[in-house]
Structure 1
Amino acid sequence: MFQSFNDATSPDQGPPRLQALRDVLAAEGYDGFLIPRADAHQGEYVAPADDRLAWLTGFTGSAGFCAALKDIAGVFIDGRYRVQVKAQVDTAHFTPVPWPDTKPGPWLKEHLPETHKMAYDPWLHTSSEVEALEKAGVNLMATDNLVNRIWTDRPAPPMGKIMVHPMELAGESHGDKRARLADMLRDAGHDAAVLTLPDSIAWLLNIRGSDIPRNPVPHCFAVLHADASVDLFVAAEKLTEIGDHLGDEIRIHAPDTFLDALAALEGTIRVDKSSAPVIVSQTVTAEVAFDDDPCVLPKACKNAVEIDGTRTAHIRDAHAMVNFLAWLDTQAPGLTEIAVVTALEGFRAQTNALRDISFETIAGAGPNGAIVHYRCTKTTNRAVQDGELLLVDSGGQYVDGTTDITRTVVMGTPTREQQECYTLVLQGMIALSMARFPRGVAGRDIDALARAPLWRHGLDYDHGTGHGVGAYLCVHEGPARISRISEVPLKPGMILSNEPGYYREGAFGIRIENLIVVQDAPELGDKRDQLSFETLTWVPLDRRLIAVDMISPVERNWIDAYHAKIAQILDVQGSAKDWLMAATLPL
């Protein structure tokens, strides 16, 4: 079993730990301390040793932070977690703060004394974050991590082994990648670039790691030089299984020498202020040029080998999903969320190719489905009742690709209201799947396509429509996404999720998610330069939830064609085959 269902909380969590932190603040003369979800690598998922936010507050979401002051402790959460946070934190001592609606700078200024000292760990905040707070008038004081001082049984940092990601899966040697990016550095007048994102380093050097669950990346830092050589700062014991893969142009150093090496750099040094911890730019004594991590965009634009591998991974994953959905349809009402998750993980494991799940499986029954990033535990575990919706968001990590899929199904007979809401979400997903758009369009320009059917009925959802996805890397990958705030132009090879939803607190949640890849659009009309999407996910939709009278002929044709292709490309056996044939019949 890949997933644990233990609760994040413990008897001494919350108020006792908050008071212990406040005792440290008083002793040091600080008025508050910032506790982000992030680690020194700014990853979405963190190792147990870096999960300070959950340890202190009980909140386990993938984004957010706590501002612990003398008299108030604000837990800042975005729209995905506004239901979840109320269930996880002690609201008598922690105050949920809607973010980014409420900016941290003004909030801190309101609750801090006029003359104050706000402490922060410079390893855990980016230059952009620090600049925004200082611009708002917050007096920041860098310090060691104050939570670490009171976390007496803090786990040790991870030491997972690093593995080679072979050429037949990567599609490009790390020497060619380094040379390509070195050309970019020289063209920009940069002598070196500091790399702090583990997935950037993993992609650049064609390696994968095992330092954090669900994401096959190693914890390490690197400096890419304009001569295409790399200084890699990583524990030597992580490298025992990769032989001579790195070669002579990759110099290995102990992690504790990283800051000294930064201080010794000469020339113009590129630093990504949105992802590198602020201690990097504070340490570099040479000229700092703030610019994007040079790996991020090339990594997002997958090559043909990576896309072919991802297609294969999705077909394999679809077989597991179809076997799971066929099994699910044989279950009577009363099936628990934990049973659902355990069964789905079992079907993926039966592929004999699964390396890990790509994130904690979400199985939300009834009202739990309205918690966007819900994770069932032994405490919250709920049975699916007759007539309720079950939202299942899951994915797998395979050596040839990363998958992420959401299907919402009904246990028994749906209500007309459930069908109407589901169909509006489905119409948005189809609109985005069929989109054609000019080259240069960003995610913000097409986000409305997925929301328009819901908007017409006064409905919406409080999360982005799509995120980038890695190639056997992180399931959430930048820089592109489909969101009202994304200005990154979409480019061929970018793999994105397409996942509109609708959530009614206390009742149900609906989300339908396929992965799509940006491609050059076939020529039409006056042959304008346009892009479109290729669908990668091939798993049937719940036909019981489709209000056929609401959909247009074009939408109906899309659904029928989608289901016909699923029936053609998937080869499941036994009772699952009968289920698949019925599930993919024309509407």
Structure 2
Amino acid sequence: MFQSFDTPTRPEQGPPRLALLRDRLAQDGLDAFLVPRADAHQGEYVAPADARLEWLTGFTGSAGMAVVTRDATALFVDGRYRIQGRAQVADEIAIRNLPGDRPEEWLAHELQAGGRVGFDPWLHTAAEIRRFNKALEARDIALLPVDNPLDAVWTDRPPPPSGKAEFYPDRLAGATAAAKRQRIAGILRDAGHAWAVLTLPDSICWLLNIRGHDIPRIPVVQSFALIEADTARVRLFVDPAKVAQLTLDGVDCLPADGLLAALATLSGPVHVDPATAPFVVLDTLNAYGVAVAEGDDPCILPKAVKTNAELAATRTAHLRDGAALCGFLCWLHARTAEVAQGRARLTEIDVVTKLEEFRRQTGALRDISFDTIAGSGPNGAIVHYRVTRDSDRALQPGDLLLVDSGGQYLDGTTDITRTIAVGDPDADQIAAYTRVLQGLIAVSRARFPKGLAGRDLDALARAPLWMAGQDYDHGTGHGVGVYLSVHEGPQRLSRIGETTLRPGMILSNEPGYYRDGEWGIRIENLVAVQQAPDLSGADAGRAMLAFETLTWVPLDRRLINASALSADETAWIDGYHVEIAEKMRALVPAEVVEWLAGATAPL
């Protein structure tokens, strides 16, 4: 259940495994093969049986793709994983940086006309394969769906997951599964579509009010589904052992491998999301002449806009989680003070283990919501750092410690980042932290017209850093589910976030700044979109939205340069800290209340 500190693969394992794959490519008459960080459901997290990219290269990040030719391999990662990628893979694997470098363009340059590139049709979306085809067809390079050659050489591949499904309470969901099925069926009927294919496990779990245990950290049931517009019935393609103990009204449970055969029998139009459905789904429908209507997964937006019950439950989860974090930070500040004085030794693994202990003590923790990031000093500059026994580092005086963590509770999913000084921070650390904090405050205080998307607000978080010539290579925020995925679409605070923000959506607000080889800073709260309060006095009358802060954990006041803040920014921090002290007083032990008095004192 809880975090492992084992090193799953090592860089030196990559070359012999690549050699095995290349031998197989030669046998299959292929000049290259695509190895994505994906499973058939296109989830961010994958089961051990689907961790093909990790097994082949050693890279453990949650996004990336390797392209393997007969004589070269390139690993394509975005800004979150450039440092991590270099550290985890063998020298013979070239690191390419997305989005500037594109794998399809690299392949078009590497291969000669007449080349043959294989891909597993279950592991790539239709939209992705279209993008590859566009680049490769111009060079007369064929892109071919094939049986996965990597699976043929991965002889000790783990078995697929088999976790049992369970019902999710209607009182927490705020709607019954029957009501949700009718709602989605109505959306399909309004669009003139007869069926929809659902391939995202979190969409299916939301629709049916179930949760599962197939994927570490994410309580989903791996499955596929079809929903019929006329009847609102669902065909669920799932391992029967997972759901044998449940009675699912309006649902026909069918063998997990029966999806493609069922697709061939449908009368269209069939609604399919080309950005999330495996290529093989659209390919099968087209092969049998079934009319297709492309569009977003019909569950994604309804799932993202939380019910009042989900929001209320999430608030409760955040108070519980905040109390655990306050207890942890009280302990941590005492321990780091001893480290700064040379009287104690504290490692990153110690930090992760203790934080999980505080969350377990709530008695409500189902799992952590992702592997805890506890990066000290230079490890903090690795955006998605995961400590192992090999990388475990002892904290040093003058370090910054970046702790990004979360919990999975039945009533909500949490995600919070705090950066803590070990001893006295220096002027550069204070200046950078203050700018990051100003970005977080700007988003937290934002009042914006209805109709804006995340891309319209992303710059608010970056502006203080930009003024100092600084920035960060990740989005400002992602959507968050309710006892589902900690990274949920379609909403996001990002330059590429195009989904209109709506009341009820939950997002993270997490600007940062990273100095490679020295330290990293990130501050993260979760927020919910809400109707903006009415203004007093004259008002133009335009409908406005704002953010409700859900996270209640103090900031490290030692890292704040109060003289660089505006009066409004100071008032926001002081007001936030007052609310934390008030909300936590009845939830934490006396020694934590005492610590909070200092941690939340006015600037």
Q: Same fold per TM (> 0.5)?
A: yes
Any idea what the Cα deviations from partners look like across 1:303-332, whole Å, max 9, x if unmatched? 100000000000000010000000001113
Residue 585 of structure 1 corresponds to which residue in structure 2? 601
What amino acid sits opposite 2:594 in the alignment? D
- The CA deviation at 1:10 is 4.5
Residue 565 of structure 1 corresponds to which residue in structure 2? 579
Q: Secondary structure at 1:44's aligned position in 2?
A: coil
Distance 1:12 1:119 in 2: 25
- The CA deviation at 1:241 is 3.3
Q: Secondary structure at 1:346's aligned position in 2?
A: helix
- The CA deviation at 1:240 is 3.2
Q: Secondary structure at 1:13's aligned position in 2?
A: helix
Residue 300 of structure 1 corresponds to which residue in structure 2? 304
Contact 2:373 2:385 (C-alpha < 8 Å) held by counterparts: yes
* TM-score of the pair, normalised by structure 1: 0.98
Residue 36 of structure 1 corresponds to which residue in structure 2? 36
1:54-453 paired onto structure 2 within 5 Å: 54-91=54-91, 93-137=92-136, 138-226=141-229, 227-242=231-246, 244=247, 246-247=248-249, 249-284=250-285, 285=288, 286-331=290-335, 332-333=338-339, 334-453=345-464
What amino acid sits opposite 1:120 in the alignment? F
What stretches of structure 1 of length at least 5 have no aligned partner?
Answer: none
What amino acid sits opposite 2:546 in the alignment? S
Contact 2:530 2:548 (C-alpha < 8 Å) held by counterparts: yes
What amino acid sits opposite 1:95 in the alignment? A
Q: Secondary structure at 1:429's aligned position in 2?
A: helix
1:477-556 paired onto structure 2 within 5 Å: 477-524=488-535, 525-556=539-570
Q: Secondary structure at 2:264's aligned position in 1?
A: helix
Residue 471 of structure 2 corresponds to which residue in structure 1? 460
- The CA deviation at 1:113 is 1.5
What amino acid sits opposite 1:228 in the alignment? A
Q: How many residues align?
A: 583
Distance 1:259 1:309 in 2: 38
Distance 1:232 1:415 in 2: 57
Any idea what the Cα deviations from partners look like across 1:111-137, whole Å, max 9, x if unmatched? 112210000000000000000000112
Residue 27 of structure 1 corresponds to which residue in structure 2? 27
Distance 1:196 1:12 in 2: 35
- The CA deviation at 1:574 is 2.9
What amino acid sits opposite 1:340 in the alignment? V
Runs ≥4 residues deviating over 4 A: none
Distance 1:267 1:90 in 2: 48
Distance 1:49 1:103 in 2: 27
Once superposed, what is the RMSD of the aligned Cα atoms?
0.9
Distance 1:262 1:585 in 2: 62
Distance 2:11 2:77 in 1: 23
- The CA deviation at 1:387 is 1.1
- The CA deviation at 1:106 is 1.2
Distance 1:239 1:585 in 2: 52
Distance 1:464 1:444 in 2: 10
- The CA deviation at 1:29 is 0.9
Distance 1:256 1:337 in 2: 43
Distance 1:12 1:404 in 2: 34
What amino acid sits opposite 1:390 in the alignment? L
Distance 2:11 2:295 in 1: 45
Any idea what the Cα deviations from partners look like across 1:341-369, whole Å, max 9, x if unmatched? 00000000000000000000000000000
Any idea what the Cα deviations from partners look like across 1:531-564, whole Å, max 9, x if unmatched? 1000000000000000111111100000000000
Residue 17 of structure 1 corresponds to which residue in structure 2? 17
- The alignment status of 1:46 with 2:50, answered yes or no, reads no
Any idea what the Cα deviations from partners look like across 1:206-227, whole Å, max 9, x if unmatched? 0001001000000000001102
Distance 1:298 1:86, change over 3 A: same
- The CA deviation at 1:11 is 8.1
Distance 2:386 2:142 in 1: 37
Distance 2:479 2:313 in 1: 16
Distance 1:513 1:11 in 2: 32
Distance 1:180 1:287 in 2: 23
Q: Secondary structure at 1:355's aligned position in 2?
A: strand
What amino acid sits opposite 1:66 in the alignment? A
* TM-score of the pair, normalised by structure 2: 0.96
Distance 2:143 2:53 in 1: 19
Distance 1:33 1:141 in 2: 9
Distance 1:326 1:465 in 2: 28
Distance 1:451 1:550 in 2: 16
Distance 1:159 1:475 in 2: 21
Q: Secondary structure at 1:14's aligned position in 2?
A: helix
What amino acid sits opposite 1:444 in the alignment? R
Q: Secondary structure at 2:75's aligned position in 1?
A: strand
Contact 2:437 2:523 (C-alpha < 8 Å) held by counterparts: yes
Distance 1:11 1:404 in 2: 30
Distance 2:582 2:30 in 1: 65
- The CA deviation at 1:9 is 1.2
Contact 2:11 2:57 (C-alpha < 8 Å) held by counterparts: no
Distance 1:150 1:394 in 2: 36
- The CA deviation at 1:12 is 6.5
What amino acid sits opposite 2:292 in the alignment? V
Any idea what the Cα deviations from partners look like across 1:165-187, whole Å, max 9, x if unmatched? 01111110011111111111011
- The CA deviation at 1:300 is 0.2
